[in-house]
């Protein structure tokens, strides 16, 4: 089995994958969970150099150095945008792709405006309000207190510079929907049934664009956007079932 690289979302870091990494490692798999520049232990790139493409280059460097040049790659939300940029720039480095709680379209003008306002707010007041707003949107209707606390803890560790740069880069990201129609590798799409950010209908649209519906789509019950942390066992099972079908 090729190494598995899992790319975190915003504003999170590698720790969001604790459960998946442990589960897959216990089954003998080589799992790499990098921090993106500006998150976790990594320093931010200069603002004008921050983009989904620049993040993808960092992931590609890791795949070359730590995975022998090819891996199964999973991306959660913003990590999914990075995975799409990686698939466009270095398709040979991805043997199979797992899109988790993500989407392929670009921001609407309203979403972009919201990001710019949030950048202004973070610049002036720090990251607390952004984290509270996000926590209100990214969990299932009845989140468990422990998961909410852990997500908040990870978010609160991220620097304002990392958050601002990534927010700007996401606002400027391109639409990648056409990429799905061209991919000829196994695809997994995972979505929380209660995800209000990248909804089940977004996931269905992605599946329809992918190779005439050849992507495996798994909907996770009682989960919002943070499905890998809210319902880790169900997400782990979905990943394992997918990996068992791809034989890489």
Size of the site for ligand MLT (CB under 6 A): 7
17 belongs to the binding site for ligand MLT (CB under 6 A): no
Nearer to ligand MLT, 135 or 222 (CB): 135
Shortest Cβ 225–ligand MLT spacing (Å): 6
Q: Rank residues 2 and 83 by Cβ distance to ligand MLT and give the closer one.
A: 83
- Fill in the per-residue mask, 194 to 213: x = in contact with ligand MLT (CB under 6 A), - = not in contact: ---x----------------
* Nearer CB in complex with ligand MLT: 29/107: 107
> Which tokens go with 208?
């329809």
Please name the helix (run of DSSP H) or strand (run of DSSP E) that holds residue 146, with its range, or none.
helix 145-156
Q: Is residue 74 within 8 Å of 83, Cβ to Cβ?
A: yes
Taking CA atoms, 22 is separated from 132, 153, 236, in Å, by: 28, 20, 10
For residue 10, the minimal CB distance to ligand MLT (Å) is: 3
78 lines the binding site for ligand MLT (CB under 6 A): yes
Residues 151-170 that bind ligand MLT (CB under 6 A): 170
Distances (CA, A) of 219 to 22, 174, 195, 222: 22, 26, 10, 10
Query: Rounded to an integer, what distance in angstroms lies between the CA atom of residue 173 and that of residue 180?
Result: 16
Phi, psi for residue 205 in degrees, rounded to 5: -65, -40
Length of the chain: 248
- CB-nearer residue toward ligand MLT: 77 or 165: 77
Q: Which is nearer to ligand MLT, 209 or 225 (CB)?
A: 225
Phi, psi (degrees; rounded to nearest 5) at 178: -65, -25
Q: Is 10 in the site for ligand MLT (CB under 6 A)?
A: yes
Q: Which is nearer to ligand MLT, 2 or 52 (CB)?
A: 52
**Nearest distance, CB of residue 76 and ligand MLT, angstroms:** 7
How is residue 74 written in tokens?
A: 């999973």
Contact 243, 153 (CB under 8 A): no
Binding site for ligand MLT (CB under 6 A): 9-10, 77-78, 170, 197, 225
């Amino acid at each position: 089995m090729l190494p598995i690289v899992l790319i975190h979302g915003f504003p999170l870091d590698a720790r969001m994958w604790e459960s998946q990494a442990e589960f897959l490692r216990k089954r003998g798999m080589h799992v790499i969970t990098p921090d993106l520049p500006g998150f976790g232990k990594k320093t931010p790139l200069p603002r004008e150099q921050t983009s989904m493409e620049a993040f993808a280059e960092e992931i590609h460097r890791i795949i070359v150095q730590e995975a022998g040049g090819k891996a199964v790659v999973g991306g959660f939300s913003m990590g999914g945008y990075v995975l799409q940029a990686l698939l466009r720039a270095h398709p040979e480095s991805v043997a199979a792709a797992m899109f988790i709680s993500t989407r392929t379209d670009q921001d609407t003008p309203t979403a972009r405006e919201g990001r710019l306002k949030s950048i202004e707010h973070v610049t002036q007041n720090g990251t607390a309000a952004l984290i509270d707003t996000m926590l209100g949107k990214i969990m299932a209707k009845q989140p468990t207190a422990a998961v909410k606390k852990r997500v908040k803890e990870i978010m609160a560790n991220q620097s304002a510079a990392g958050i601002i740069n990534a927010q700007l880069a996401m606002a400027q990201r391109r639409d990648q929907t056409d990429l799905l129609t061209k991919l000829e590798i196994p695809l997994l799409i995972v979505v929380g049934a209660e995800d209000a950010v990248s909804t089940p209908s977004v996931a269905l649209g992605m599946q329809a664009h992918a190779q005439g519906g050849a992507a495996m789509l798994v909907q996770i019950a009682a989960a919002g956007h943070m499905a890998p942390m809210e319902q880790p066992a169900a997400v782990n099972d979905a990943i394992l079932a997918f990996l068992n079908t791809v034989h890489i």
